[in-house]
Structures are given as C-alpha cells and as structure tokens.
Amino acid sequence: MKKVFLIVFLIFNSGILFAQNTFPYPASGNIGIGTNTPASTLDVNGAISVKGYNVSDTQIISVPADGTYVIASGSRIKGTYTINFEAANRIQTLVLLASAVQYDYGNSSLSVISNTSYGGSVVIRNFRYVFNSDASVVYLVFDILNRNGGTSVTAHFEGTGAYLPNWGGTLPASPVTAGNYPLVVNFGNIGIGTASPQNKLDVNGTIHSKAVLIDLIGWNDYVFKKDYRLALLSEVKAYIDKHQHLPEIPSEKEMIKNGLDVSEANKLLVKKMEEMTLYMIEAKEEIMTLQKEVKQLKTRLNKR
C-alpha cells in the first residue's frame, strides 16, 4: 500500500511540475519553462545557470558628422566585430578581432583581419583602443571621414556571452591611445605592430628571416665598361670635404628622415666597391710603373 501511495504521489507532483512547461514543442512556436504562456521564442520563469554560450548582437552607430566614434566600451572588450558602412558610392566592410582589458595596455590587442571597400573609398579608419585617465575603462574607437551622406555604421558582434559588448560610450576628456596591433589589413596594405600601414607591408619591430629575396631593376656592372667615367680621387675628396658623405650615398639626415632602401643601398654599396676596385687597379698599375722606373734608375747608377 505504501508503494502504491508513493507512486501516485510522484505522478501527481510530476504533473504539477510539468504543468508550467510548454512541452512538447507548442504550435505557437514559443517554448516556456516555468510558464505555460511563453511570450518569446524561449521564455524562462526562473534562473538560468550555464557554463558558457556564444552570442551575436548588432548595433546601429549614428555618425552624423566626420569625427571619432565609440563602438564599445567597458572593463573588457573581446570578440569579433564586423563593421559596415554604406552610402552613395561609399561601401566599406571591416572585420576586427578585439581583445582588451582595463588597466592592461600591453596585452590589449586589435587586429583588422579584413578591410574591403567599393571603389577604394576609405570612410572608416584608424581603429584603435583608448583608455580613460586611470585605465579603468577601455574604448574601441574609429574615425570616419568623407561620409558622402552616410549617417550610420552597422556593428555586429560575435563572441561569448561574457563579453557581450556595452555598445557606444562617451570618450573621456583626456583619452590615452594604447594597445598592440598584431595584424592590420588596410586596403591592400598589411601592418604588423602598427594600426595604419602605409605600404604593402609595414612592420613595427624586428623581422627575423633565414633569407630575403629582393627583385631588382638593373645593376651596376656598367662601372666596368670602357666608356664609364671614373671620378678623379681629387674630385671625390672635394665632395667629401664639402658634404661629409660619399657621392650618391644619402646623407645621415636623409637616411633618418626617409629610412634605408635596402635594394638601392645594396646597389650603391656594390657600385662604390666596384669603383674602389678600379682605383686599386689604377694604383697598382702606377706602383708597378714606378717600381719599373726605380729599377731602371738603379741599373743606370750601377753601371757608372
């Protein structure tokens, strides 16, 4: 009798428990847990405990004028952001990989892994992190220029729920720009360690490689042709006295300002070595001539 009573009790209570759940899948398309009148696709009347979940979210960011705007802000920013802008003859889409934490400039990184546009129109640019004065808040920001009538940017987030973005925010009075930029793709230019690459590959740091192959246009073997005019050493000396560097070699000021063109520098160095070889050959010939004349003079003296 006790067993029968226990079974009846369990069935009765299970009926009560499930009476508030809309299982199986209801015709309305909404599922309720803890409620039999779900108002959303999934309506839970109670707490939810999960270890982790992936989410996506989209936000429209108003850009009424050219300037700097905030995508997201808070104590941490992490995930993939797809940024899209559309206007007349202005279409641009970027994909950002963001990871930033308050108080931590060094480990905050931002990569622009894709940057495409219609007609090469650069509208949104200079994606970067800025921090407030005590670094307690980090901001993911961008600049916009030449909107051509566009008034909004669409930002889409993909990541874990723990990093669901706090969209927007107001820039602090004295923002501090910081962070690392491991990889930035900018309209055919790639930057490593720099947010705004200006060349096909800009690297802000040391490059380690086993070999580097450089395509060249021309070489300096014309130095050895018969019609090449080798400057007189007196002319070279006069130039050095006046300019404090070799002819054709950039000055220290020019090198610091423009950097070192490895290809051109190697060509010039080889050219100077070839010219130096010719000077050495001339010097050797002159020495041999002098030695011959000295020998002849000794012979004459010995005959007296």
Average pLDDT over every residue of 125-130: 86
Q: Using omega within 30 degrees of 0 as the cis cutoff, is the peptide bond preceding 165 cis?
A: no
Average pLDDT over every residue of 121-134: 84
Sheet of 184-186: strand order equals: 54-62, 152-160, 76-87, 90-101, 104-117, 184-186, 189-192, 201-203
pLDDT value for 49: 60
pLDDT value for 156: 93
Average pLDDT over every residue of 41-49: 75
pLDDT value for 48: 67
Average pLDDT over every residue of 176-201: 77
Average pLDDT over every residue of 113-138: 83
Which tens digits make up the pLDDT trace of 50-73?
556 678 889 999 998 989 999 999
Sequence-distant (≥ 6) Cβ neighbours of residue 82 within 8 angstroms: 93, 94, 95, 96, 155, 156, 158
Which tens digits make up the pLDDT trace of 258-301?
888 888 889 999 999 999 999 999 999 999 999 999 998 988 88
For the ranges 88-97, 121-130, 175-184, the lowest mean pLDDT is seen at 175-184
Domain extents for the chain? 2-44, 54-203, 221-298
